Structure 1
Amino acid sequence: MPKPLTDQEKRKQISVRGLAGVENVSDLKTNFNRHLHFTLVKDRNVATKRDYYFALANTVRDHLVGRWIRTQQHYYEKDPKVSKHSLEMYMSITIFFFLLLVNLSTIYLHQLGLDMEELQDIEEDAGLGNGGLGRLAACFLDSMASLGLAAYGYGIRYEFGIFNQKIVNGWQVEEADDWLRYGNPWEKARPEYMRPVHFYGRVEHTPEGVKWVDTQVVLALPYDTPIPGYRNNVVNTMRLWSAKAPCDFNLKDFNVGGYIQAVLDRNLAENISRVLYPNDNFFEGKELRLKQEYFVVAATLQDIIRRFKSSKFGSTEVVRVDLSTLPEKVAIQLNDTHPAMAIPELMRILVDTEHLTWEKAWDICTRTCAYTNHTVLPEALERWPTDLLQNLLPRHLEIIYEINRRHLERIAKLYPGDDDRLRRMSLVEEGHQKKINMAHLCIVGSHAVNGVARIHSDILKATLFKDFYEVDPDKFQNKTNGITPRRWLVMCNPGLAEVIAERIGDDYIRDLDQLKKLLEFVDDDSLICDIAKIKQENKLKFSAYLEEQYKVKINPNSMFDVQVKRIHEYKRQLLNCLHIITLYNRIKKEPNKDWTPRTIMIGGKAAPGYHTAKLIIRLITAIGEIVNNDPVVGDRLKVIFLENYKVTLAERIIPASDLSEQISTAGTEASGTGNMKFMLNGALTIGTMDGANVEMAEEAGEENLFIFGMRVEDVEAMDKSGYDAMEYYNRIPELKQAMDQIAGGFFSPDQHDLFKDIVNMLLHHDRFKVFADYEAYIKCQDKVSALYRNPKEWTKKVIYNIASCGKFSSDRTISQYAREIWGMEPSLEKIPAPDDPRQ
Structure 2
Amino acid sequence: MDSSSAGQEDDRERRGISERASLDKRALRRSFLDNLLYVQGKFPRLATKNDYYLALAHTVRDRLMQRWISTAAAYTTQCSRTVCYLSAEFLMGPHLGNNLINLGIYDVAAEVVGELGLDLEDLLYQEEEPGLGNGGLGRLAACFIDSLATLEVPALGYGIRYEYGIFHQTLSDGWQVEKTDKWLRFGNPWELARPEWAVEIKFGGHTEQYTDEHQRLRVRWVAARIVNGVPYDTPILGYHVNTANTLRLWKAEAPESFDFGQFNRGDYAGAVTQKIVSENLSKVLYPNDEQEAGKELRLQQQFFFVSCSLQDMLRILQIQRIPVEKFHEKFAVQLNDTHPSIGVAELMRLLVDEQLLAWDTAWDITCKSFGYTNHTLMPEALERWSLPLFQRVLPRHLEIIYEINARFLDQVRIRFFGDEARIARLSLIEEQGPRYVRMANLACVGSHAINGVADLHTELLKQDVLKDFYELCPEKFSNKTNGVTPRRWIVLANPRLTSLITETLGDGWIRDLDLLRGLESHIDDAAFVQRWQAVKRANKADLATHIERRLQISIDPDSLFDVQVKRIHEYKRQHLAALHIVALYCRIKANPNIEMVPRTFIFGGKAAPGYHMAKLMIKLITAIGDVVNFDPDVRGRLKVAFLPNFSVTNGQRIYPAADLSEQISTAGKEASGTGNMKFQMNGALTIGTMDGANIEIMEEVGKENFFQFGLLTPEVYAWQARGYRPQECYERSPALREVIDLIGSGYFARGDSSVFKPLIDVLLRYDPYFLLADFDSYVACQDEVSAVYKDKHRWARMAILNSARSGKFSSDRTIRQYCSEIWNVDKVPVRLLSQEDVEADFMQ
TM-score strictly above 0.5: yes
Residue in structure 1 matched with residue 137 of structure 2 by the alignment = 133
Paired with 1:763 and 1:205, the residues of 2 have a C-alpha distance of 59
Is 1:289–2:315 an aligned residue pair?
Answer: no
Residue in structure 1 matched with residue 79 of structure 2 by the alignment = 79
Query: CA 1:714–1:214 in 2, change beyond 3 Å: closer, same or farther?
Result: closer
Paired with 2:791 and 2:666, the residues of 1 have a C-alpha distance of 30
Residue in structure 2 matched with residue 11 of structure 1 by the alignment = none
Check the 8 A contact 2:233/2:248 in 1, yes or no.
yes
State how 1:576-615 maps to structure 2 within 5 Å: 576-615=577-616
State how 1:294-373 maps to structure 2 within 5 Å: 294-311=303-320, 319-320=321-322, 322-373=323-374
Q: Secondary structure, in 3 states, of the residue corresponding to 1:519?
A: helix
Paired with 1:469 and 1:252, the residues of 2 have a C-alpha distance of 57
Q: Alpha-carbon deviation of 1:752?
A: 2.0
Paired with 2:260 and 2:344, the residues of 1 have a C-alpha distance of 33
1:191 aligns with one of 175, 190, 195 = 195
Check the 8 A contact 2:335/2:341 in 1, yes or no.
yes
Residue in structure 2 matched with residue 69 of structure 1 by the alignment = 69
Paired with 2:48 and 2:223, the residues of 1 have a C-alpha distance of 51
Is 1:206–2:210 an aligned residue pair?
Answer: yes
Q: Deviations over 1:225-266 (max 9, x none)?
A: 110000111111101110000127878999955475133332
2:282 aligns with one of 254, 273, 278 = 273
Paired with 1:53 and 1:698, the residues of 2 have a C-alpha distance of 43
Check the 8 A contact 1:281/1:379 in 2, yes or no.
no
Residue in structure 2 matched with residue 619 of structure 1 by the alignment = 620
Residue in structure 1 matched with residue 379 of structure 2 by the alignment = 378
Query: CA 1:252–1:23 in 2, change beyond 3 Å: closer, same or farther?
Result: closer
Q: Alpha-carbon deviation of 1:514?
A: 0.8
Q: Deviations over 1:85-131 (max 9, x none)?
A: 11111111331111110121333231232212322321111111110
Check the 8 A contact 1:282/1:380 in 2, yes or no.
no
Q: TM-score, normalised by structure 1?
A: 0.94
Query: CA 1:412–1:255 in 2, change beyond 3 Å: closer, same or farther?
Result: farther
Q: Alpha-carbon deviation of 1:635?
A: 1.1
Letter in 1 for 2:144: F
Gaps of 5+ in 1: 1-21, 312-318
Query: CA 1:253–1:261 in 2, change beyond 3 Å: closer, same or farther?
Result: closer
Paired with 1:409 and 1:823, the residues of 2 have a C-alpha distance of 30
State how 1:247-262 maps to structure 2 within 5 Å: 247=256, 256=265, 258=267, 261-262=270-271
Q: Alpha-carbon deviation of 1:330?
A: 0.4
Check the 8 A contact 1:155/1:240 in 2, yes or no.
yes
Letter in 2 for 1:81: R
Check the 8 A contact 1:67/1:834 in 2, yes or no.
no
Residue in structure 2 matched with residue 31 of structure 1 by the alignment = 31
Residue in structure 1 matched with residue 803 of structure 2 by the alignment = 802
Letter in 2 for 1:698: E
Q: Secondary structure, in 3 states, of the residue corresponding to 2:167?
A: strand
Q: Secondary structure, in 3 states, of the residue corresponding to 1:152?
A: strand
State how 1:150-161 maps to structure 2 within 5 Å: 150-161=154-165
Gaps of 5+ in 2: 1-21, 213-217, 838-844
Check the 8 A contact 1:283/1:380 in 2, yes or no.
no
Residue in structure 2 matched with residue 759 of structure 1 by the alignment = 760
Q: Deviations over 1:442-499 (max 9, x none)?
A: 0000000000001000000000111110110000010000000000001100111111
State how 1:463-612 maps to structure 2 within 5 Å: 463-612=464-613
Q: Secondary structure, in 3 states, of the residue corresponding to 2:271?
A: helix
Is 1:178–2:182 an aligned residue pair?
Answer: yes
Paired with 2:402 and 2:259, the residues of 1 have a C-alpha distance of 31
Q: Deviations over 1:275-303 (max 9, x none)?
A: 01167999996100001000001110010
Q: Secondary structure, in 3 states, of the residue corresponding to 1:166?
A: strand
Q: Deviations over 1:21-67 (max 9, x none)?
A: x9422211111111111111110111111111111111111111111
Q: Alpha-carbon deviation of 1:592?
A: 1.7
Letter in 2 for 1:128: L
State how 1:418-817 maps to structure 2 within 5 Å: 418-817=419-818
Check the 8 A contact 2:480/2:818 in 1, yes or no.
yes
Check the 8 A contact 1:570/1:664 in 2, yes or no.
yes
Query: CA 1:127–1:836 in 2, change beyond 3 Å: closer, same or farther?
Result: farther
Paired with 1:745 and 1:457, the residues of 2 have a C-alpha distance of 43
Check the 8 A contact 2:201/2:227 in 1, yes or no.
yes
Paired with 2:260 and 2:789, the residues of 1 have a C-alpha distance of 70
Paired with 1:779 and 1:716, the residues of 2 have a C-alpha distance of 23
Check the 8 A contact 1:280/1:607 in 2, yes or no.
no
Check the 8 A contact 2:23/2:63 in 1, yes or no.
no
Paired with 1:672 and 1:280, the residues of 2 have a C-alpha distance of 25
Worse-matched range after superposition: 73-82 or 400-409: 73-82
State how 1:111-126 maps to structure 2 within 5 Å: 111-126=115-130
Is 1:90–2:91 an aligned residue pair?
Answer: yes
Q: Deviations over 1:738-768 (max 9, x none)?
A: 0001111111125221000000000012110
Check the 8 A contact 1:815/1:826 in 2, yes or no.
no
Q: TM-score, normalised by structure 2?
A: 0.93
Q: Deviations over 1:359-394 (max 9, x none)?
A: 110000000001000001012110111111111110
Residue in structure 2 matched with residue 316 of structure 1 by the alignment = none
Q: Alpha-carbon deviation of 1:516?
A: 1.1
Check the 8 A contact 1:29/1:112 in 2, yes or no.
no
Q: Deviations over 1:413-460 (max 9, x none)?
A: 001111111001111001332101100000000000000001000000
Worse-matched range after superposition: 396-405 or 88-97: 88-97
Q: Secondary structure, in 3 states, of the residue corresponding to 1:406?
A: helix
Paired with 1:756 and 1:173, the residues of 2 have a C-alpha distance of 21
Aligned length: 807
Check the 8 A contact 1:664/1:688 in 2, yes or no.
yes
Report the aligned-residue RMSD: 1.9
Q: Deviations over 1:303-362 (max 9, x none)?
A: 011101211xxxxxxx33x32211111010000110011110000011111111111100
Query: CA 1:703–1:641 in 2, change beyond 3 Å: closer, same or farther?
Result: same
Letter in 2 for 1:719: Q
Residue in structure 2 matched with residue 238 of structure 1 by the alignment = 247
Residue in structure 2 matched with residue 102 of structure 1 by the alignment = 103
Check the 8 A contact 2:568/2:605 in 1, yes or no.
yes
Paired with 1:719 and 1:539, the residues of 2 have a C-alpha distance of 41
Paired with 1:194 and 1:467, the residues of 2 have a C-alpha distance of 40
Q: Deviations over 1:496-537 (max 9, x none)?
A: 111111121110000001111111112221221111110000
Q: Secondary structure, in 3 states, of the residue corresponding to 2:278?
A: helix
Residue in structure 2 matched with residue 832 of structure 1 by the alignment = 832
Letter in 2 for 1:69: I
Check the 8 A contact 2:564/2:663 in 1, yes or no.
yes
Q: Secondary structure, in 3 states, of the residue corresponding to 2:166?
A: strand
Query: CA 1:598–1:259 in 2, change beyond 3 Å: closer, same or farther?
Result: closer
Paired with 1:455 and 1:371, the residues of 2 have a C-alpha distance of 17
Check the 8 A contact 2:453/2:672 in 1, yes or no.
yes
Percentage of pairs with the same residue: 50
Query: CA 1:564–1:834 in 2, change beyond 3 Å: closer, same or farther?
Result: farther
Query: CA 1:634–1:728 in 2, change beyond 3 Å: closer, same or farther?
Result: same
Paired with 2:56 and 2:709, the residues of 1 have a C-alpha distance of 48
Check the 8 A contact 1:130/1:280 in 2, yes or no.
no
Check the 8 A contact 2:290/2:610 in 1, yes or no.
no
Paired with 2:144 and 2:357, the residues of 1 have a C-alpha distance of 34
Q: Alpha-carbon deviation of 1:145?
A: 0.3
Letter in 2 for 1:718: W
Q: Secondary structure, in 3 states, of the residue corresponding to 2:297?
A: helix
